[in-house]
C-alpha cells in the first residue's frame, strides 16, 4: 500500500495561505477555465484547430482533409465556436472557419511544447 503524503503535524502557515487566497481567481473563473480545457480534451477538435492554423476552411474542406463526415466536423466546429476558439465567416452559401485569435495557437503551442519535453 502506498504512503499518503501529508504533513507530519498540523502547522498552518497563515501568511502563505492568506497570500495564496488573495491571488486565487474566483471559483466562477476557475470553472470557466476548466470548461475551456475540456474543449481541448478531444483529438478531433485538436486536429481541426491544427488544420485551421494553416488556412481558413469550410466544413467540406475540413471533412475531406481529416477524413471525417461533414456531420462530425460540423458538430465539433459548433463546440469550438461556442467556446470562442474559432469564428465563422459566411460567403454566399459557404461558411468558412478560422481561429478566433492568436491565443488559440499559443495555448496549443504551449501544450505541445509540454508534451514534447
In a domain, residue 1? The reply is: no
Q: Coil, helix or strand for 70?
A: helix
Number of structural domains (the chain) is 1
Euclidean distance between CA atoms 117 and 45, whole angstroms? 23
> What's the residue count for the chain?
117
pLDDT per position as a tens digit, 12-33: 889 999 999 999 999 999 999 9
Q: What confidence score (pLDDT) does residue 1 get?
A: 54
Residue 21 structural domain: 14-116
In a domain, residue 2? The reply is: no
* Exposure string over 97-116, b if 16+ CB within 10 A, otherwise e: bebbeeebeeebeeeeeeee
Q: What confidence score (pLDDT) does residue 27 get?
A: 95
Q: What is the mean pLDDT of residues 40-52?
A: 97
In a domain, residue 90? The reply is: yes
Q: What confidence score (pLDDT) does residue 55 get?
A: 97
Q: What CATH number should be reported for the domain holding residue 23?
A: 1.10.10.10
- Beta bridge partners, 91, equal 94
In a domain, residue 46? The reply is: yes
Q: Name the DSSP class of 87.
A: E
Confidence of residue 7 (pLDDT cuts 50, 70, 90): confident
Record the pTM: 0.83
Euclidean distance between CA atoms 110 and 92, whole angstroms? 36
In a domain, residue 8? The reply is: no
Question: What are the E-state strand segments in the chain?
Answer: 57-58, 86-91, 94-99
Amino acid at each position: 500500500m502506498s504512503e499518503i503524503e501529508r504533513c507530519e503535524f498540523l502547522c498552518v502557515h497563515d501568511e502563505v495561505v492568506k497570500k495564496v487566497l488573495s491571488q486565487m481567481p474566483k471559483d466562477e473563473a476557475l470553472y470557466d477555465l476548466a470548461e475551456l480545457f475540456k474543449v481541448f480534451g478531444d483529438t478531433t477538435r485538436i486536429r481541426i484547430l491544427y488544420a485551421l492554423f494553416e488556412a481558413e476552411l469550410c466544413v467540406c474542406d475540413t471533412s475531406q482533409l481529416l477524413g471525417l463526415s461533414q456531420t462530425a466536423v460540423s458538430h465539433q466546429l459548433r463546440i469550438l465556436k461556442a467556446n470562442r476558439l474559432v469564428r465563422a465567416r459566411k460567403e454566399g452559401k459557404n461558411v468558412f472557419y478560422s481561429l478566433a485569435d492568436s491565443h488559440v495557437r499559443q495555448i496549443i503551442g504551449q501544450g505541445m511544447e509540454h508534451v514534447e519535453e
